[in-house]
Amino acid sequence: MKVLIFGSGGREHALAWAVKRNERVTEVVCAPGNGGIAEIARCVPVDLKDLEVLVRVAVEERPDLTIVGPELPLSLGVVDAMHDLGLRVFGPSRAAAMLETSKGFAKRFLQRYNIPTAHYAMCSTAEELESAVEVFHSPIVVKADGLAAGKGVLICQSRRTAVEAAQGLFSGALLGEAERQVIIEEFLVGEEVSFLCLSDGKHVAPLLPAQDHKRIGDGDTGPNTGGMGVYTASSLLDPEMSDWILHHVAEPAIRAMAEEGTPFVGVLYCGLMLTARGPQVLEFNARFGDPETQAILVRLESDLVDVLEACIDGRLDQTELRWSAGASACVVASSAGYPGSYKTGLPIQGLSKAEQVPGVHVFHSGSKQLGNQLVTNGGRVLGVTAAASSLDEALDRAYQAIAQIQFDGIYYRRDIGQRALKKVP
C-alpha cells in the first residue's frame, strides 16, 4: 500500500511516522515534506498553493491513500479534484472545509444549529462595524473572515482600537489582502482545549483532547504563534465534559453538515474555550492540529491507516480507538525571532541524543537536509514529543530531550503543561 501525505510540518512528520507502523504500508510519499520526514518517506517537491501541481503529483504517484495535512490545499478543493479522479483521499471537500476557511460561514452555522459560541456581529464595511461595536464590552475580538495563518485574530482593548483593527483588515494593511467580511466577537475567558474528532460524514470518534500553547512567551505572553507546545492528560477534561462536547458540539456539527448536503469527512478540530457558561466554540479547523497531532499520535494504539480508511468508507462506527494510558507532551523548538522574521539554514545538532531519552520522538516542523547536515528551515523547527505514564514524566522527558538539541538561537517555552500540573487533581 502506498500512502501520500500533503504538507511539510511536524503534523505531517507525525502522520508519516504513524502511517509507517501499518504492515500493509510499503511506501510513504510526502509532498513537499521536510528534512526529518525525508528520513522515513520519499519527499516530492510541490507548492501547496498550486492545485494543479498537487493533482499532478497524485496522478503520477497513484497512491492507495492520500492524507491532506494543511488547510490551504483543502481550501483549493484538492479533495474534490482527487475524488473526481477516483483517488482515495482523507480530508473534507472544499465545501465542508468552509467550517475553517470562512469564519463567517462557521459563525452563522454555529448560530443556525444552536452550538455554543461567542456572541458576534459580522460586518462588511468599517461603518457597519463602528455601529455594531457599540454593544460589545472591551476587550473585543476582531477576526478576519478568511484563512490568515493565525494572524487574523486581534484582541482589542477598546472600541476605538477594534475599529482601527477592522479598518486594517478591510484595507489590506494588516494581512496583505483586503478582507470583505470582518467579525467582532465577545472576549471569552477560560481554559482553551483542542477537541479533535474523526468523522466519516456521519459518525464521530473523538481523539484525545489536547491543550495548545499559542503565545510565544512563558506565562502566555507575547504574540500568537502556530502553537509552541501541547499536552494530553486526563486532567484536561473529565469524561462528562468530553461527552458533553461530543454531544453538543461535534455530533450536531457533523449531523448538520450532512443535512446541508456537504458531509464532513476528515478531522473536525473544535477549538473550545471552557467558560463559566460552559464550553464555547472559538473556531473550527478542518484538519489535524499542529502540534496537537504530534502529542495525540504518540498515544494512539489503534492503527491510523485502518481508522482513516474507515472514515473514507463510512464505517467509523465499527472502529474503536485505543490509547495508551498516561499523558504526552510536545515542546516546540523555534528559531530566534519567530513569529516575526528569523534566519534559516542554521545547523541542528544533538538529535540522536535527544531521541535516546525513553518515550521521545522528535518530529520536524521546519528543517531540511543540506548535504550531510540537517539545518533549520522555518519558524517552528522541531516538536520534541514524549509519552509517559504521567504528565510530569512526559514533560520531564520532553525537556530532558530538548536540552540535548542545539541550533543558533534555539528558543522554546519552559512552561508547557504547567497550568495542568498546578491544578488540584
Sites of contact with ligand AMP (CB under 6 A): 118, 141, 143, 153, 185-188, 192, 214, 271, 282-283
Residue whose CB is nearest to ligand AMP in the complex, by number = 283
Between 280 and 335, name the residue whose CB sits nearer to ligand AMP. 280
Range 190-219, binding ligand GLY (CB under 6 A):
212
Sketch the per residue contact string, 339 through 358, with ligand GLY: x for CB under 6 A, - otherwise.
Answer: --------------------
The Cα 398–Cα 403 span in angstroms is: 9
Nearest CA to 312 out of 357, 267, 275 is that of 267
Q: Taking CB under 6 A as the rule, does residue 61 contact ligand GLY?
A: no
Range 258-287, binding ligand GLY (CB under 6 A):
285
Between 282 and 354, name the residue whose CB sits nearer to ligand AMP. 282
Q: How far apart are the first and last CA of the chain?
A: 45
Between 147 and 297, name the residue whose CB sits nearer to ligand AMP. 147
Between 42 and 214, name the residue whose CB sits nearer to ligand GLY. 214
The item of ligand GLY, ligand AMP, none sharing an interface with residue 292, based on CB under 5 to 8 Å by kind, is ligand GLY
Q: How far is the CB of 416 from ligand GLY (least distance, A)?
A: 13
CB 76 within 8 A of CB 98: no
Between 6 and 136, name the residue whose CB sits nearer to ligand GLY. 6
Q: How far is the CB of 198 from ligand AMP (least distance, A)?
A: 20
Q: How far is the CB of 346 from ligand GLY (least distance, A)?
A: 24
The item of ligand GLY, ligand AMP, none sharing an interface with residue 188, based on CB under 5 to 8 Å by kind, is ligand AMP
Q: How far is the CB of 425 from ligand GLY (least distance, A)?
A: 26
Binding residue for ligand GLY, selected from 145, 292, 303, 309, defined by CB under 6 A: 292
Q: Taking CB under 6 A as the rule, does residue 227 contact ligand GLY?
A: yes
Q: How far is the CB of 345 from ligand AMP (least distance, A)?
A: 30
Size of the site for ligand GLY (CB under 6 A): 6
Nearest CA to 279 out of 245, 256, 316 is that of 245
Interface residues with ligand GLY (CB under 6 A) are: 212, 227, 285, 289-290, 292
